[in-house]
Amino acid sequence: MGESDEDIVDVAIALRELDPDSVPMNFLIPFERTPLGDRWELQISGGSKTVV
């Protein structure tokens, strides 16, 4: 929803410091007539690379 690569790295570093057992991941799937319905930016490959 607009996070930069730097934002994602910052979150990853913060999560590493917290050492959680699990982290839920959500990907926006836009639907027509919703505020972000015209923004299709889903890139599962980008999300999965971030996790790894």
pLDDT tens digits, residue range 24-39?
Answer: 877 777 888 888 788 7
4-31: b or e for each residue (b if 16 or more CB lie within 10 Å)? eeeeeeeeeeeeeeeeeeeeeeeeeeee
Distance CA 21, CA 9 (A): 19
Please say if the pLDDT value at position 16 is more than 80: yes
* Contacts by 38-45, CB closer than 8 A, 24 or more apart: none
Please say if the pLDDT value at position 17 is more than 90: yes
Q: What pLDDT is recorded for position 25?
A: 79
pTM of the model: 0.54
